[in-house]
Amino acid sequence: MGRYAHITGWGKYLPQRILTNTELAKSVDTTDEWIRERTGIGERRIASAKETTAMMAIHAAREAIEVADLDPQKIDLIIVATATPEYTFPATACLVQDALGASRAGAFDLSAGCSGFGYALATAASWIRSGMHNTVLVIGSETLSQFLDWEDRATCVLFGDGAGAVLLQGKDQPGGVLATVLGSDGSGGELLIIPGGGSKHPASAETIATKLHVIKMNGREVYRFATRVIAHAAREVTKQAGWTIEKVDLLIPHQANVRILDSAAKALKLSPEKIFANLEHYGNTSAASIPIALCEAIDADRVKPGDRVVMVAFGAGLTWAACAVEWSAPKHRAAPVQVALSRVRYGFFGLRSLLARLLRRIDALFSWLIDRIEGKRGGE
């Protein structure tokens, strides 16, 4: 009997601070009218110093775990899709693993730009289907506001911060992630890029002076690529799932530009109510955009058990990813008592992590002392 990868938990985190177009227009040469007309974006969330990529990922993950009513120690693997990790290394996923007390889990970050969540979902589902893992946490988390040139009106109006997470569990019952399509075209790498900070242009006074650490984008070319690839990937994945486009109940596309969504709807001949859009409120949150949209679609009763859901993304790389999911989980919110209990549990895991760090220091101190004593004896 085959194994199926079902989504059993979901959660999101959005920073408190809202930056409206009107507010933005006070610091850069743009208008609310231009941004709304050309992109559909009205406002975006901006992370505070405390709302880092890891912190937001942890909050979204905890919500997903609570919805699935799962013990974090049952998680086999954590994948964080992000273009804006906490550090070059360690992986943000390891910080999440520690905070969740997921002591049995492997953890790594995945970099595929705005398609990252789709890539991570495909990876998780394949491992579950192969029998290698049973419970995988997939997170998309981004603090793009830290990588924007706030003087470049062509990019700074587009992006926002946030995180979304899903928990996948293996079951014998057919359904869940049924098909995935991944693609890339590295010849378009320079169309959407942060050139500085990697091994080619490591941080220096010059890379900072020439603004190499912020997003550079050829918007028109990315737009052309997106309108081509969304319809193509959506068609391909529905075919692989054994469906037709008419049978799709909801398309959740990467939330970049409402004109791109409209053009995809037209190309696929899908009615607008079958396409989920929330970019008016959050802008483009890269790898976090689809899981945040999924959570909001569930809250709005737009995703119900038995529904055929297609998620499709495009982004830096250039990359694209599409997933076909037969939804199987009923709408569920964790009970307040369950939330309170898990807070206590995470508090305990926090203490345990602190203790592990302390023990590591004591261990290092003892090793140092023993080395000194043995060195002295050897010298006698």
Which residue, 177, 166, 170, 168, is CA-closest to 63?
Answer: 166
Amino acid at 296: E
Among 52, 238, 257, 319, binds ligand UT7 (CB under 6 A): 257
- Indicate whether 38 belongs to the interface with ligand UT7 (CB under 6 A): yes
- Whether 134 is a known active-site residue: answer no
Query: Whole-angstrom Cα distance, residue 241 to residue 326?
Result: 9
Residue type, 284: N
Please say if 254 is a catalytic residue.
yes
Q: Which residue is associated with the tokens 């469906």?
A: 243
CB of 254 to ligand UT7, least distance (A): 6
Beta-sheet pairing, 43-46 with 77-81: unpaired
Candidate ranges 35-43, 178-186, 262-270, 273-281; the one touching ligand UT7 (CB under 6 A): 35-43
Closer CB to ligand UT7, 67 or 114, in the complex = 114
Q: Which residue from 90, 96, 133, 138 is spatially nearest to 349, judged by alpha carbons?
A: 96
Residue of 254, 257, 295, 323 marked catalytic? 254
Mark residues 60-89: x for contact with ligand UT7 by CB under 6 A, - for none: ------------------------------
Distances (CA, A) of 151 to 8, 27, 194: 42, 8, 16
Q: Is 218 a catalytic residue?
A: no
- CA–CA dist 126, 135 (Å, integer): 12
- Nearer to ligand UT7 (CB atom), residue 164 or residue 315: 315
**Beta strand segments in 144-228, E:** 161-171, 176-184, 192-193, 216-217
* Contacting residue, 256, 264, 310, 322, with ligand UT7 by CB under 6 A: 256
Q: Using the rule CB under 6 A, is 153 a contact of ligand UT7?
A: yes
Q: Which stretch binds ligand UT7 (CB under 6 A): 102-110, 121-129, 150-158, 176-184?
A: 150-158
Tokens of 260: 């791109």
Please provide residue 213's backbone torsions phi and psi, each rounded to the nearest 5 degrees.
-100, 15
Interface with ligand UT7 by CB under 6 A: which residues? 30, 34-35, 38-39, 114, 153-154, 157, 192, 217, 219-220, 222-223, 226, 256-257, 284, 315
Catalytic residue set: 114, 254, 284
